[in-house]
Amino acid sequence: MADPSFDVVSKVDRQEVDNALNQAAKELSTRFDFRGTGAKVNWAGDEAITFEADTEERCAAAIEVFKEKLIKRGISQKAFDVGEPAPSGKVHKVTGNLVQGISAEKAKEIAKKVRDEGPKGVQAQIQGDQLRVSGKKKDQLQEVIALLKGADFGIALQFTNYR
């Protein structure tokens, strides 16, 4: 029988993000403090979301509304990277991107942490944009999960395929 293992990934459920976006758009259209400000939020491609408003402050407030909706839907703030408001004609626009996948340098950093601070006999292998962690005992894997949850790598981590 193969050793127990799990995968460390950084993925976002697009349907949950879409639901959060729709809720934020509805709130922006109905809230009194957003009336007449032209505040809008919508998709700009597969991974990008744009925010528009008449002023920079209303644009920042629209971003905060969207972030609140993400939190309520259980999506980490680290999974959403937003830029700075920039004037575009009469409106201010901001583009935010969903951060998915573990970059090569982040994967090396996570693997190093597992190797240095994790229990003996646990290996971490980089497989594309995810990491496979395997060990002799499930207890060791649970220690590694606790170790990685306690560390801040600047990205949202999920643990899948635990077997």
Domain range spanning residue 28?
14-98
Same domain, 79 and 114: no
DSSP string covering 79-132, please? GEEE---EEETTEEEEEEEE--S--HHHHHHHHHHHHHHSPTT-EEEEETTEEE
pTM of the model: 0.84
pLDDT tens-place string over residues 10-23: 999 999 999 999 99
Q: What percent of the chain has pLDDT over 70?
A: 99
Question: What does the pLDDT read at residue 94?
Answer: 92
84 lies in the same domain as 32:
yes
Pairing of β 123-127 and β 130-134: antiparallel
Q: Per-residue pLDDT for 1 more than 60?
A: no
Here the CATH number for the domain that contains residue 60 is 3.30.70.990
Question: What pLDDT is recorded for position 85?
Answer: 80
pLDDT value at residue 132? 93
Do 146 and 80 reside in the same domain of the chain?
no
Give the tens place of pLDDT for each residue, 100-123.
899 999 999 999 999 999 899 899
Averaged pLDDT of the chain: 91
Do both 20 and 90 map to the same domain? yes
Contact 113, 147 (CB under 8 A): yes
Residue 91 and residue 128 in one domain: no
d(CA 147, CA 88): 45
What average pLDDT score do residues 68-77 get? 94
